[in-house]
Amino acid sequence: MTTTDPATTWRVQPAPPLPATPDDAGAWAYAGMCEIERLDELDTWGWSDLWAPLHVRLPLLRPTPYSRTHVWVAVRGDGGDAGDVVGYATLSEPLTANQHTAHVAVGVAASHRRHGVGDALLRAATEQAAADGRGTLHAYTSHSPEPEPGAGALESPVGSGRVPAEDAGVRFAQAHGFRLEQVERYSVLELGDEHGAGTPELTEHLAAARARAGEEYRTHTWLDEVPEDRLDDVARLYTRMSTDAPMGALDVQEDPWDADRVRAMRQRVADAGLHHLVTAAEHAPTGRLVAFSVLEVPLPDVPFAFQQDTLVLREHRGRSLGMLVKAVNLERLGAWRPGVRRVHTWNAQENDHMLAINVALGFRQAGVAAAWQRTGEGATTRHA
């Protein structure tokens, strides 16, 4: 669509074909999208650690046998330059499970808000979703700080957690038929004298976890390469991740992984310039991996990392294996990349056991991420 606002003319169009590198001709649209994302990150948190620069973003947008992502941009004038991009929408569609769902994200440059740009972008994405048979849409908004309870806060329907009722993203999501389903706690661990590798705190947690786990469990740590004979076990842990983490009323089913998918994910992560540091716990009597924890660490030496998945198989819980794999991974991170100062993570607010481990390790809340859902019935918005 093309429309005018008081200052300029813009239109929504599919992004050009995904460029191979940030230097290719079609990269302008993606560079423009990335810049809007960066400014939004700065606005929300005051830092851009969570932002994916273009050389990270492009490989993550490439289609795989497991997912594909559509991108639209709102463009000023003729386009062709990153500065012409005033908004973007992405629609990510899983291809091997949860094919009734898609994840949508919309961002508009601050200078162009409240002129219907977000509306037009979301419409393009939802039309594609409908054409692809995706009746359930998911979206996330981020907020810092978490608001106090009261009139200005919208409460999560499960567990605890609040988002600011007047936030633009919240109002936009509600105006388009999305329902708040879950609020995740976003936390940061500041590594240094108090927390992290070599500190008395981590050393004690590690010793206590090892003692409680006992001789039956031993840990393995891998940087990037998971040994071939362990891939099936790691795939099983990722599969359980898709069902065992609390999901509120989000309409998602089990997402099965196999060894090929673990290999493909590893390749994708490497292409995006990210390392994976994985610590897994093996149950010695059976030789099977029963717990794991993954740190994602950007390839150039930046001072931050991301605490990603952590899981202990149900039948092995209650033996401090969650603390064990996390603490070993943090020790190894400190030895390998001592310049990392901050680790970012997200957990469902109702995930008491995981949060207790994180709080003990020194993670402190820095904000919230809200999960929104629009189902078939909810798809009747003011634009439908």
Ligand X SMILES: CC(C)(COP(=O)(O)OP(=O)(O)OC[C@H]1O[C@@H](n2cnc3c(N)ncnc32)[C@H](O)[C@@H]1OP(=O)(O)O)[C@@H](O)C(=O)NCCC(=O)NCCS
Q: Which is nearer to ligand X, 72 or 257 (CB)?
A: 72
DSSP per-residue letters across 215-247: TTEEEEEEESPPPGGGHHHHHHHHHHHHHHS--
Q: Which is nearer to ligand X, 112 or 240 (CB)?
A: 112
Going by C-alpha positions, the residue among 363, 378, 231, 356 that lies closest to residue 292 is: 231
**Binding residue for ligand X, selected from 18, 168, 241, 265, defined by CB under 6 A:** 168
Q: Which is nearer to ligand X, 112 or 185 (CB)?
A: 112
Q: For residue 253, how many C-alpha atoms fall within 13 Å in the half-sphere facing its CB?
A: 10
Stretch in the footprint of ligand X (CB under 6 A) among 16-24, 56-64, 104-112, 242-250: 104-112
Cα separation of 213 and 316, whole Å? 10
Q: Which is nearer to ligand X, 114 or 218 (CB)?
A: 114
Q: Which is nearer to ligand X, 169 or 362 (CB)?
A: 169
Stretch in the footprint of ligand X (CB under 6 A) among 46-54, 165-173, 284-292, 361-369: 165-173
Whether the Cβ atoms of residue 322 and residue 354 lie closer than 8 Å to each other:
yes
Minimum distance of ligand X from residue 89's CB (angstroms): 8
Minimum distance of ligand X from residue 44's CB (angstroms): 8
Stretch in the footprint of ligand X (CB under 6 A) among 53-61, 114-122, 292-300, 333-341: 114-122
Q: Which is nearer to ligand X, 94 or 256 (CB)?
A: 94
Number of residues that bind ligand X (CB under 6 A): 19
Under 8 Å CB-to-CB from 207, ≥6 apart: which residues? none
Q: Which is nearer to ligand X, 105 or 280 (CB)?
A: 105
Q: Applying CB under 6 A, does 334 fall inside the site for ligand X?
A: no
Stretch in the footprint of ligand X (CB under 6 A) among 20-28, 75-83, 91-99, 102-110: 102-110
Q: Applying CB under 6 A, does 158 fall inside the site for ligand X?
A: no
Q: Applying CB under 6 A, does 40 fall inside the site for ligand X?
A: yes
End-to-end CA gap in the chain: 16
SS3 assignment for 274-319: EEEEEEEEEECCCCEEEEEEEEEEECCCCCEEEEEEEEECHHHCCC
The amino acid that residue 11 corresponds to is: R
Q: Applying CB under 6 A, does 239 fall inside the site for ligand X?
A: no
Q: Applying CB under 6 A, does 114 fall inside the site for ligand X?
A: yes
Cα separation of 70 and 33, whole Å? 13
Cα separation of 336 and 206, whole Å? 18
Q: Applying CB under 6 A, does 113 fall inside the site for ligand X?
A: yes
Going by C-alpha positions, the residue among 61, 44, 64, 43 that lies closest to residue 52 is: 61
Cα separation of 246 and 129, whole Å? 25
Cα separation of 247 and 47, whole Å? 28
- Alpha carbon distances (Å) from 113 to 87, 360, 362: 9, 41, 38
Structure tokens at 357: 């481990």
Q: Applying CB under 6 A, does 169 fall inside the site for ligand X?
A: yes
Stretch in the footprint of ligand X (CB under 6 A) among 4-12, 60-68, 107-115, 328-336: 107-115
Q: Applying CB under 6 A, does 270 fall inside the site for ligand X?
A: no
Minimum distance of ligand X from residue 343's CB (angstroms): 24
Q: Which is nearer to ligand X, 96 or 381 (CB)?
A: 381
Please give the residue ranges that form the binding site for ligand X (CB under 6 A): 40, 105-108, 113-119, 139, 141, 168-169, 171-172, 175
